[in-house]
């Protein structure tokens, strides 16, 4: 396995020779943001609580297991990503507004999304591993720098700004040309799919909306 | 009389254990898979998960930040007497959930489905779920908590008797592929299958099969046990591993639970208990003692009984049940 340590904010040089499936560890600042944040900023047009560019360029699709102590400090235990494909519809606006270049999440997005939105913005997608290396990632967080919109969005959807060190592992899911590791692996797996069903009779009743192609993805 | 303060202590402690310590049966199952997995990426994922469990225990932090939808299963002995009755028990379990969410911490996942209001404590309308089962001739209560993610890896289908075992296998494959891609089911999973009952029963027992039976456990019904083993093989022969990468680590175990169903139907549910298969159990005795373990022992012969009346030690009617 190839391994790479990358400093945030991401710069062009970091993308050189970065191959799909490389294990990546991050140093610098990442901030969490998911549908709660996107809805407020992109759908409702609210002013971001802080200029995104001032936080660097790494957006983590994540909700931490965290609580707020009585003295206002934070108790942050584990962090794990949430499935990213649900946020696809905000991508076109998001990159322009945020200057984001690293999206960290679960499950990746489509090659179509990578080529339409990520590549033109010099952005890559890093996938968490497992899923659920929550404790390992929790260990990589040096401190909580700030939390925005905690009251408005709740702990799970708030924007957590995190100072991280040797934060990982992540896997390179999309490269600078918009290729997807998941889609590459899926294409190999799909070659066998028809054979798996061979000799098994179809059920009597089909379901509404059922796909007849066994290589279709949920994403 | 079982005191509420003891129940509260046990209910909080199992939340902590579930969130932090991977059950040994699941850990051993995955370690075995690491040894057999030939694909480098798939092996890397499994090794990272094993390391993650060690770190969770060392640091006393949750193994996965998606601490799922924390819930309880209560099995009460017929002779158990609970201080304040069942209403007091439920209050204690709700309080323990809120306290666990703040103290461990757990992710406050529970929100109202429409308003999305989050009390930040995993408590709300019908949350946490508390399911009950009873056991004759004893005076303890077993409290089990399960933290299972709630979004992917589960599906339901109404099959019909004519669809037969082929129908079961097809739907099993459908779900493995549907949620295995990109690893949405967080496999390798303990796959639980519910067969029969009403639709809601099929869903409930499938989930219990995934969450309340340990890796290595086989159904006492030989026919069902054989199907469990066959489905494990089918799952691991798909060619897919963790995160949907090429590999062969998909199903760490498969458990099937059945319920008598409509004569015209064969409802089936499939559930995947993930790489953070979190469950912990406390037995609270009438003497105030608490004994912790990770095997819920939910499906007792009494729980699976088939006849009208229950006679201790008697085999269930109409099914081959090992004693």
Q: What is the pLDDT of residues B27-69, one digit of tens each?
A: 999 999 999 999 999 999 999 999 999 999 999 999 998 899 9
* Model confidence at B315: pLDDT above 60: no
Q: Within 13 A of A160's CA, how many CA atoms are on the CB side? A: 30
Containing B235, the helix (H) or strand (E) segment is helix B222-236
Residue B157 with chain A: CB contacts under 8 Å: 203, 207
Mean per-residue pLDDT, A197-201: 94
Range of the domain at A73: 3-197
Interchain CB distance below 8 Å, A133 and B183 = no
Q: Does A212 touch chain B (CB under 8 A)?
A: no
**A15 falls in which pLDDT band (50, 70, 90)?**
confident
- Does some domain include residue A212? no
Kindly give, in sequence order, each residue whose CB lies less than 8 Å from that of residue B113, ignoring residues fewer than 6 positions away.
Answer: none
| The two structure tokens encoding residue B304 | 């699976």
Is the per-residue pLDDT at B279 higher than 80? yes
CATH number of the domain encompassing residue A144: 3.20.130.10
Vertex B250, ends A4 and B173: CA angle to 5°? 130
Query: What total of structural domains would you count in chain A?
Result: 1
**How confident is the model at residue A76, as a pLDDT?**
87
Per-residue pLDDT tens over the stretch B237-254: 999 999 999 999 999 999
Residue A218 has a pLDDT of 56
At A199 the pLDDT is 94
Mean pLDDT, residues B272-284 = 97
- pLDDT of A209 strictly over 90: no
Distances from the Cα of A174 to the Cαs of A21, A57, A101, in angstroms?
A: 9, 16, 12
DSSP H or E stretch at residue A166: strand A159-172
Is residue A209 domain-resident?
A: no
Would you call B146 helix, strand, or coil by DSSP? strand
ipTM: 0.91
* Residue A216 belongs to a domain: no
Between A64, A139, A193, which is nearest B177 by CB?
A: A193
Q: In what order do the strands lie in the sheet with B141-147?
A: B130-135, B71-77, B141-147, B278-284, B290-293
Would residue A77 count as lying in a domain? yes
Residue B10, pLDDT score:
98
The answer to whether residue B317 scores a pLDDT higher than 60 is no
If DSSP codes are grouped into helix, strand and coil, which group holds residue B123?
Answer: coil
Residue A146 DSSP SS3: strand
For every residue of A83-136, DSSP letters joined together read: BGGGGGGGHHHHHHHH---EEEEBS---HHHIIIIIGGGT-EEEEESTTT-HHH
Over 80: is that where the pLDDT of A214 sits? no
Residue of B nearest to A190 (CA): B239
- Domain boundaries defined on chain B: 4-18+63-149+280-293, 150-273
CB contact under 8 A, A80 and B66: yes
pLDDT at A217: 64
pLDDT tens track for A36-84: 999 999 999 999 999 999 999 999 999 888 888 999 899 888 898 999 9
Using an 8 Å Cβ cutoff, are A176 and A124 in contact?
Answer: yes
- What pLDDT is recorded for position B319? 44
Could you tell me if residue B167 is left (phi over 0), alpha (psi between -120 and 50 degrees) or otherwise beta? alpha
pLDDT at residue B322 tops 60: no
Cβ–Cβ under 8 Å, residues A124 and A15? yes
- In sequence order, what DSSP letters do the residues of B283-305 get, joined into one string? EE-TTS-EEEES------TTTT-
Strand partners, B157: B268
What pLDDT score was predicted for residue B93? 98
CB within 8 Å of chain B, chain A residues 40-59: none
Alpha carbons B233 and B273: distance in angstroms, whole number: 17
Q: Is residue A208 included in any domain, yes or no?
A: no
The answer to whether residue A213 is domain-embedded is no
């Amino acid at each position: 396995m190839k391994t790479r340590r990358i400093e945030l904010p991401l710069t062009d040089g970091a993308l050189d020779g970065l191959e799909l499936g490389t294990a990546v560890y991050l140093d610098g600042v990442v901030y969490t943001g998911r549908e709660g944040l996107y809805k407020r900023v992109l759908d409702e047009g609210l002013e971001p609580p802080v200029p995104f560019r001032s936080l660097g360029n790494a957006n983590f699709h994540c909700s931490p297991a965290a609580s707020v102590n009585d003295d206002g400090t934070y108790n942050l235990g584990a962090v794990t990503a949430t499935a990213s494909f649900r946020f696809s519809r905000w991508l076109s606006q998001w990159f322009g507004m945020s200057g984001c270049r690293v999206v960290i999440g679960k499950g990746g997005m489509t090659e179509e999304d990578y080529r339409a939105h990520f590549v033109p913005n010099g952005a890559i997608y890093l996938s968490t591993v497992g899923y659920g290396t929550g404790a390992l990632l929790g260990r990589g967080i040096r401190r909580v720098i700030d939390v925005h919109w905690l009251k408005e969005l709740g702990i799970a959807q708030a924007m957590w700004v995190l100072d991280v060190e040797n934060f990982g592992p992540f896997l390179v899911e999309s490269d600078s040309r918009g290729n997807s590791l998941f889609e590459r692996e899926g294409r190999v797996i799909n070659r066998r799919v028809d054979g798996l069903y061979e000799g098994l009779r179809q059920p009597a009743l089909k379901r509404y909306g059922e796909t007849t192609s066994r290589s279709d993805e949920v994403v | 009389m079982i005191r509420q303060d003891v129940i509260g202590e046990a209910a909080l402690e199992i939340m902590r254990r579930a969130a932090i310590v991977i059950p040994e049966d699941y850990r051993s199952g995955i370690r075995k898979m690491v040894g057999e997995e030939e694909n480098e990426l798939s092996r890397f994922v499994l090794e990272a998960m094993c390391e993650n469990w060690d770190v969770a225990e060392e640091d006393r932090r949750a193994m996965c930040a998606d601490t799922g939808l924390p819930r309880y299963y209560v099995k009460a002995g017929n002779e158990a007497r609970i201080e304040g009755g069942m209403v007091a028990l439920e209050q204690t379990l709700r309080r323990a959930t809120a306290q666990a969410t703040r103290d461990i911490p757990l992710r406050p996942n529970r929100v109202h489905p429409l308003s999305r209001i989050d009390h930040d404590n995993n408590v709300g309308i019908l949350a946490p779920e508390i399911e009950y089962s009873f056991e004759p001739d004893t005076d303890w209560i077993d409290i089990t908590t399960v933290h299972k993610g709630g979004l992917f890896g589960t599906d339901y289908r109404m099959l019909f008797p004519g669809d037969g075992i082929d129908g079961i296998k097809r739907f099993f494959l459908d779900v493995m592929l549907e949620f295995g891609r990109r690893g949405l089911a967080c496999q390798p999973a303990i796959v639980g299958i519910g067969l029969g009952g009403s639709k809601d029963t099929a869903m409930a027992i499938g989930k219990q099969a995934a969450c309340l039976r340990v890796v290595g456990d086989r159904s006492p019904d030989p026919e069902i046990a054989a199907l469990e083993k066959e489905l494990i093989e089918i799952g691991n022969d798909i060619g897919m591993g963790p995160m949907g990468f090429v590999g062969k680590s998909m199903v760490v175990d498969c458990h099937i639970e059945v319920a008598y169903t409509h004569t015209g139907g064969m409802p089936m549910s499939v559930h995947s208990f993930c790489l953070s298969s979190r469950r912990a159990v406390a037995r609270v005795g009438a003497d105030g003692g608490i004994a912790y373990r990770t095997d819920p022992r939910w499906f007792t012969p009494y729980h699976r009984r088939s006849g009208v009346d229950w006679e201790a030690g008697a085999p269930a009617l109409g099914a081959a049940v090992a004693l």
